[in-house]
Homo-oligomer: A and B are copies of this chain.
Amino acid sequence: MEVIRKVASESDHVTIGIGSAQYSHTKDNPFTAGERYLMIARTLKDEGIDNAFIIPIEDLNRYSVWVSQVETMCPPFSIVYSNNQYTRRLFYEAGYEIRNSPLYNRAEFSGTEVRQRILDEDDWRYLVPEKVAEVIDQIDGVSRIRELMGESPDGMQL
């Protein structure tokens, strides 16, 4: 939220891509794109940010056309914020200006950490915006994470 708040205040608009939109119910992406959309939309409204576009983007699983896929799904943009080296490289090669996301405590404010705490029945709510916790409760997300993280999948290759 800190990153988005900063970018939204400095720019005409900010586009938030929901990556890997076709995946859900996995350890890394327990929530559907629609559920993630709702978490973000409610939080932005709560924060009074009204110049953000939220866009679910399906991976095509071929990096070389990924920049094109993102350009197709999003309104025009000129600056890319990411701390991921792959994303940075691909958009850099395509000629975009790349900026680091402002610094924050990445170890704690990470999805991995939050999901682990939910599994361990530790406190996790203070790590996410209030509206995100609200949506997770509404969709019974805690029980989903606990069931899915408790066992390795078999019978389907993702």
Query: Which residues of A line the B interface, CB within 8 A?
Result: 19-26, 28, 32-35, 37-38, 41, 50, 53-56, 58-69, 71-76, 84-90, 93, 139, 144, 147-148, 150-151, 153-158
Q: With the chains together, A21 CA to B65 CA distance in Å? A: 12
Q: How far is the CB of A106 from chain B (nearest CB, A)?
A: 12
A73 pairs with B24, CB closer than 8 A: no
| A-B residue pairs, 9 tightest by C-beta | A64-B72, A68-B68, A25-B63, A85-B151, A38-B75, A65-B68, A65-B65, A34-B74, A86-B153
B155 pairs with A19, CB closer than 8 A: yes
5 A-B residue pairs with Cβ-Cβ distance under 8 Å, sorted by A, are: A24-B62, A32-B72, A34-B73, A58-B58, A67-B68
Known: A34-B75, A68-B68, A86-B148. 18 other contacts (CB 8 A): A19-B155, A19-B156, A21-B73, A25-B89, A26-B63, A32-B71, A35-B75, A50-B50, A56-B56, A60-B60, A61-B158, A65-B65, A84-B155, A86-B155, A86-B156, A88-B147, A93-B144, A157-B158
